[in-house]
């Protein structure tokens, strides 16, 4: 797998959000040409994203920074806001 497990889970969550939007659009909106075009586009986008997930079979290798920490280590702390709290920013 080319990406971290967290990235895979975020991708799946994104697909689920689009799936919910597709369902709502299809069954809770009146039929119009614009709606049908948007439905077709959402279906195509969901299918492409699923193919990307299915074809992500490369070996994941951690990238380390010069300080010896994994690259995603500091990213995780920045994403979660922990770094700012501890560094007083």
| 51 and 70 together in one domain | no
pLDDT digits (tens, 9 = 90+) for 21-31: 999 999 999 99
Average pLDDT over residues 43-69: 84
CA dist 64 and 70 (Å) reads 4
Task: Provide the pLDDT confidence category of residue 89 given band limits of 50, 70 and 90.
Answer: very low
**Residues in CB range of 63: below 8 A, 6 or more apart:** 70, 71, 72
Query: How many Å is the maximal CA-CA distance in the chain?
Result: 57
**Residues in CB range of 12: below 8 A, 6 or more apart:** 53
The two structure tokens encoding residue 68:
């010896």
| 4 and 46 together in one domain | yes
| 52 and 79 together in one domain | no
- Expressed as residue numbers, the domain containing 68 is 64-89
Number of domains in the chain: 2
| 47 and 24 together in one domain | yes
Task: Provide the pLDDT confidence category of residue 77 given band limits of 50, 70 and 90.
Answer: low
pTM of the model: 0.66
């Amino acid at each position: 797998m080319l990406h971290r497990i967290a990235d895979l889970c975020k991708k799946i969550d994104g697909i689920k959000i689009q799936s919910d939007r597709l369902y709502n659009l299809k069954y809770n909106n009146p039929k119009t040409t614009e709606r049908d075009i948007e439905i077709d586009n959402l279906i195509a986008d969901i299918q492409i994203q699923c193919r990307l997930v299915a074809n992500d079979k490369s070996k994941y290798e951690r990238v380390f920074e010069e300080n010896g920490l994994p690259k995603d280590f500091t990213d995780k702390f920045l994403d979660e806001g922990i770094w700012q709290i501890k560094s007083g920013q």
